[in-house]
Amino acid sequence: MIYKEKKVLLRNGKTVVLKSPSEDDWKAMTDYIRCVASETPYILRAPEECNDTEESEKAFIRRYNESELECMIAVFDGETVVGNCNLNVKNRKKVRHRAELGIGLCKSHYRLGIGTTLITELSIIARNEGCTQFELQYVDGNYRAKGLYEKCGFVEVGRMPNGVRFDDGTYADDVNMRKIL
């Protein structure tokens, strides 16, 4: 699914562009994922797992752009990708009313309202796809994500105890949230 490009004015007066990345953006996308993975422990991918190749990243982008049930929106600050989110609508008939989202930003762009804007845009797409509920997971302790999701109307519906194990051997719950669309 292709998201129609949109310019967004941020709280700091700067502008970013939201758009579906094209295959030509593969390098900017891999730089971005390395940035997020090195800056936060709260995404599932560890920095040492950021080893996408040109071929695999292009295939990943193509999959989203050609899919009828999946959409990816990248946040461009000039040529640099500073954020990304994706929407995955479930495929089977009995669960076709459910969509899941994932989101991440580079630290340089936290707290400027981008997370809120991305969730608003994804909610519109999910509703247009006929979905009636939106779902996500975050790692317990990620107070930024919790704050964003609660502000956007998500409510905790359960948790997987010890869903995540960090390098130092400590665990955190995986928290499930839901929002009615």
Ligand X SMILES: CC(C)(COP(=O)(O)OP(=O)(O)OC[C@H]1O[C@@H](n2cnc3c(N)ncnc32)[C@H](O)[C@@H]1OP(=O)(O)O)[C@@H](O)C(=O)NCCC(=O)NCCS
Which residues of the chain form contacts with ligand X (CB under 6 A)? 36, 40, 42-43, 103-105, 110-116, 138, 142-145, 147-148, 151
Q: Judge contact between 101 and 85, C-beta under 8 A.
A: yes
In the complex, least distance from residue 122 CB atom to ligand X, rounded to whole angstroms: 12
Q: Which is nearer to ligand X, 23 or 52 (CB)?
A: 52
107 torsion bin: left (phi>0), alpha (psi -120 to 50), beta (else): alpha
Q: How far apart are CA 23 and CA 73, in angstroms?
A: 13
In the complex, least distance from residue 44 CB atom to ligand X, rounded to whole angstroms: 9
Q: Which is nearer to ligand X, 107 or 127 (CB)?
A: 107
Q: Which is nearer to ligand X, 61 or 145 (CB)?
A: 145
- 90: Cα separation from own chain's centroid: 16
Sign of the four-CA dihedral 42, 150, 172, 97: negative
In the complex, least distance from residue 133 CB atom to ligand X, rounded to whole angstroms: 17
